[in-house]
Structure 1
């Protein structure tokens, strides 16, 4: 099928959403049992971790870990938001920088200012949205010192939809920020796959709903293929993606191509495909890429392809660079649950 299609249903008994683009599986969200990113807790400080500048917190869902802590005494209440999924056996990662995010609006406590997504380039549309934001924000009763970001989806939305979203997020922020007293409690649960699909997949798309929506042959086959480590690449090369306890190992091979340019071709194809594979498989943490052999002079072009590919990806990824042994290292946020078969 040409164009984009969003499928909202279940996968193996769990809520799930899939984004297909031109017949290819582009994104996949499957619910799990762990606390969802975006959840907001009223937590209680527990004990600092010496030498790491962090502190363990008590939450109703277990221990959380807050980095870069200063001036917090044990036993104090504070509001924190889940930033990603914890590594097995480790505490829930949280931050004090709360965000209240919906399809059209993001309210940013302690980060004042009214802004429009840079993805909206039409100056007339930007001016109209800013005018709407200023008028609505003045009446929203938002927390003092909070800011507002209008997301790229606003470009295709009606003024009423944008206004309703701003008011809803401002009201939620006001309610949560005033709820600091009391025992540890979950105040806001993070969005599940269906809500995330509505919130973040804003391109025009056909929407298919139903418990069995993802069981269609092309979708189910693409999801089941993710259980296999080997990924075919254009040009005949392959990429093997294998999560381990310590990191995700990615090995690139040229296949049957023995030409002088085979290594660069396979590595460039792998660079373009890697963000999609990591996203679909739910892999994060340290990623070590073992490229196919290529001359050192070709590294710059390969890095350019890699950076361009991850720039278009919505999961925060730091490209750390080359190791002395010629591998390439990345550090990726654990924004998704691993699909299967790995602990990274």
Structure 2
């Protein structure tokens, strides 16, 4: 099916969501099994012990521990409000932050970051003025510590829906910020796969939605998931790349395939660079990534640098470190979800 299709289904009784673009899988979310700290969840925590060598402190969470990359102003025994920023690696504490975000489809309330921000994607000055007035009305009398971000979806949304989102997020933030008494406790759960899809992916102006049973099979998501179970990724022109996670890093190897022409290596490398962000995102891979591109002249590296920069532009916290003396390319990507291999066991 052409266009953007939001697909909601279940896998083994767990919520699952996908975004298909012209028949290609672009986004994927699957609820984990069991009682797992989901990114976005907010906890009341208790500061435990600092780890100065790592520039942070462990905090007690219900049933486990978190790691906060902050020491200044935090003392052992102090109660804190923290938000999960990513999945916990095996044997490690859950990464958390004291920078809280109360996020809905149209509004984000930001404690300790006051002020109003409207998405830069909304360029119409009249609409920006209308949204500013909505924000002023919705935040009137609020705690001075609270800021507000109006998201790009506000451009086409009804004013009433935006006002309701502002009120809901403001009320939730005000309730949570005063709830510091007591032992470690989950205060706000992270978004489920379906909630996340509706909140962050859906564009009602252009998207279709398939929420009927067996939608994954019908829309081609099941087939795409089977492809993601293997390390091999086919590229245009007959080349391929292999993505293989290890304990220390994600190794990526790019091959030209049967094409032996002088331009084959650059073609395969460009195709791999363009698809690499999507493959890492869908597979839930992050941390250190090392790419062994197909051999090509050093003079062509600047082309690949520009392709990689453009490809990762919208990928959030990614650092393109560049080329090593051995001709490998290094980058780091924030781990923002569990590995797909863990979710599809």
- State the TM-score, normalizing by the size of structure 1: 0.95
SS in 1 for 2:237: coil
User: Which residue in 2 is equivalent to 1:221?
Assistant: 223
The change in CA–CA distance for 1:89 and 1:198 in structure 2 (over 3 A counts) is: same
Structure 1, 323-332 or 222-231: larger mean CA deviation: 323-332
Unaligned runs of 5+ in 1: none
SS in 1 for 2:54: coil
SS in 2 for 1:311: coil
CA distance in 2, matches of 1:217, 1:119: 30
CA distance in 1, matches of 2:63, 2:295: 47
User: Which residue in 1 is equivalent to 2:187?
Assistant: 187
CA distance in 1, matches of 2:320, 2:288: 10
User: Which residue in 2 is equivalent to 1:150?
Assistant: 150
CA distance in 1, matches of 2:133, 2:247: 50
CA distance in 2, matches of 1:32, 1:118: 34
Shift, 1:311, TM fit: 1.1
SS in 2 for 1:51: helix
Alpha-carbon deviations, 1:206-252, whole Å to 9, x = none? Answer: 11114532233722111111011111111221111111111111111
Shift, 1:167, TM fit: 0.6
Alpha-carbon deviations, 1:125-156, whole Å to 9, x = none? Answer: 22221222122221xx4332211000011112
User: Which residue in 1 is equivalent to 2:28?
Assistant: 28
CA contact (8 A) 2:6 2:202 kept: no
- State the TM-score, normalizing by the size of structure 2: 0.95
CA contact (8 A) 2:116 2:147 kept: yes
User: Which residue in 1 is equivalent to 2:335?
Assistant: 334
CA contact (8 A) 1:247 1:288 kept: yes
Shift, 1:52, TM fit: 1.8
The change in CA–CA distance for 1:61 and 1:153 in structure 2 (over 3 A counts) is: farther
User: Which residue in 2 is equivalent to 1:162?
Assistant: 162
CA contact (8 A) 2:39 2:84 kept: yes
SS in 2 for 1:169: helix
**Structure-to-structure mapping, 1:185-334, within 5 angstroms:** 185-203=185-203, 204-216=206-218, 218-313=220-315, 315-334=316-335
Q: How many correspondences in the alignment?
A: 339
User: Which residue in 1 is equivalent to 2:103?
Assistant: 101
User: Which residue in 2 is equivalent to 1:175?
Assistant: 175
CA contact (8 A) 1:57 1:66 kept: yes
CA contact (8 A) 1:142 1:173 kept: no
Shift, 1:341, TM fit: 6.6
CA contact (8 A) 2:7 2:219 kept: no
Shift, 1:71, TM fit: 2.8
SS in 1 for 2:77: coil
The change in CA–CA distance for 1:319 and 1:61 in structure 2 (over 3 A counts) is: farther
CA distance in 2, matches of 1:223, 1:117: 33
CA contact (8 A) 1:105 1:169 kept: yes
CA distance in 2, matches of 1:123, 1:24: 35
SS in 1 for 2:138: helix
CA distance in 2, matches of 1:134, 1:220: 45
CA contact (8 A) 1:143 1:173 kept: no
User: Which residue in 2 is equivalent to 1:67?
Assistant: 69
SS in 2 for 1:340: helix
Root-mean-square deviation (CA, aligned residues, Å) is 1.5
CA distance in 2, matches of 1:240, 1:326: 17
Shift, 1:202, TM fit: 3.0
CA contact (8 A) 1:227 1:341 kept: no
